[in-house]
């Protein structure tokens, strides 16, 4: 469970095409945006608190998640739409260009922003982006994604999550999955989870970065991988991205959720990268 924030954060809502976007700002100094998908602002609170000592830190609930409702709940969440939302936030803050740390689907958002609005981005730290399109076995993996989404939408929640973990290369016992995803659950968490399966996962994992554009971009790109993610799907996708861009990946503490599980060590590593 994410601990409560200990740093004052001002919460705001802005209008975006087709809905409203919730965001928080804390601290003072150079702007760092912490971006997830489907993770919301709450997931980044411990890391944001630490970085706020000497940075202005922006966090947000991505479109359709938690406090960012859409006029049409069935609208798909694409990396391009989420990047445009982030661009609107950066314009509102008038504090760019920003360093953007994106994790998982948020890393895909950050890369899409770097392609579309490079003038707003100083650097992107893309932590474990699930860029399946860069892998040679992408067709098999896309088919597996379609299968697990269908399982979830048919009502087999624990079974769908078992397929997610298997595809990701993460070993989770069946009883643990039942404990996490069976029984009574928070309604908002369930709604956000359903949106991720139904309207976000496929558009995110099927997104293909413009590698030529990123190689020629003035935006510095760092590809981050968790030290405990070796052999997992997002280790593979991240290494594929780094190789395509001619970069050495940077190793961060923890695994795919290292920013939440080890915020102190993660913040220290991120500060070293930013320097």
pTM over 0.85: yes
State how many domains the chain has.
Answer: 2
Per-residue model confidence as pLDDT tens digits over 87-110: 999 999 887 799 999 999 999 999
- Domain end, chosen from 174, 199, 224, is at 199
Q: Which stretch of 42-56, 112-126, 175-189, 217-231 has the lowest confidence by average pLDDT? A: 175-189
Starting at the edge strand that comes first in sequence, how are the strands of the sheet with 98-103 ordered?
10-16, 19-26, 56-60, 31-35, 98-103, 121-127, 220-226, 250-252
* 191 shares a domain with 158: yes
* 65 shares a domain with 16: yes
- Expressed as residue numbers, the domain containing 168 is 138-199
What pLDDT score does 6 carry?
A: 67
- What is the percent of the chain where pLDDT is above 70? 98
The residue-averaged pLDDT of 144-169 equals: 96
What pLDDT score does 134 carry?
A: 98
pLDDT higher than threshold 50 for residue 1: no
pLDDT bracket for residue 3 (50, 70, 90):
low
- Assigned domain for 23 exists: yes
Tell me the C-alpha distance between 20 and 167, whole Å: 33
Residue (of 109, 102, 94, 108) closest to 56 by Cα position: 94
The residue-averaged pLDDT of 22-48 equals: 97
Token look-up 């938690």 returns 66
pLDDT higher than threshold 80 for residue 273: yes
Q: What is the mean pLDDT of the chain?
A: 95
pLDDT bracket for residue 182 (50, 70, 90):
confident
Tell me the C-alpha distance between 16 and 91, whole Å: 12
- Assigned domain for 125 exists: yes
Q: How far apart are the first and last CA of the chain?
A: 30
- Assigned domain for 2 exists: no
- What is the percent of the chain where pLDDT is above 90? 89
216: domain CATH number is: 3.40.50.1820
């Amino acid at each position: 469970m994410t601990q409560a924030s200990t740093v004052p954060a001002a919460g705001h809502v802005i209008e975006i095409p087709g809905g409203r976007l919730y965001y928080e700002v804390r601290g003072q100094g150079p702007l760092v945006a912490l971006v997830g998908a489907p993770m919301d602002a709450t997931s980044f609170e411990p890391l944001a608190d630490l970085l706020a000592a000497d940075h202005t830190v922006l966090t947000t609930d991505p479109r359709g998640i938690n406090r960012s409702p859409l006029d049409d709940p069935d609208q798909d969440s694409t990396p391009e739409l989420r990047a445009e939302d982030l661009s609107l936030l950066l314009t509102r803050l008038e504090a760019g260009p920003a360093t953007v740390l994106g994790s998982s689907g948020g890393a895909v958002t950050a890369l899409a922003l770097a392609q579309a609005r490079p003038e707003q981005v100083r650097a992107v730290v893309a932590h474990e982006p699930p860029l399946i399109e860069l892998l040679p076995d992408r067709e098999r993996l896309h088919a597996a994604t379609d299968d697990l989404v269908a399982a979830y939408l048919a009502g087999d929640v624990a079974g769908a999550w078992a397929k997610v973990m298997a595809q990701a290369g993460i070993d989770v016992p069946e009883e643990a999955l039942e404990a996490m995803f069976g029984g009574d659950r928070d309604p908002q968490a369930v709604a956000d989870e359903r949106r991720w399966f139904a309207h976000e996962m496929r558009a995110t994992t099927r997104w293909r970065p413009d590698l030529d554009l990123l190689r020629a971009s003035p935006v510095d790109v760092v590809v981050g991988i968790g030290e405990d993610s070796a052999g997992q799907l997002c280790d593979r996708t991240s290494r594929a991205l780094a190789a395509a861009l001619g970069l050495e990946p940077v190793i961060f503490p923890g695994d795919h959720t290292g920013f939440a599980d080890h915020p102190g060590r993660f913040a220290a590593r991120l500060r070293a990268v930013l320097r």
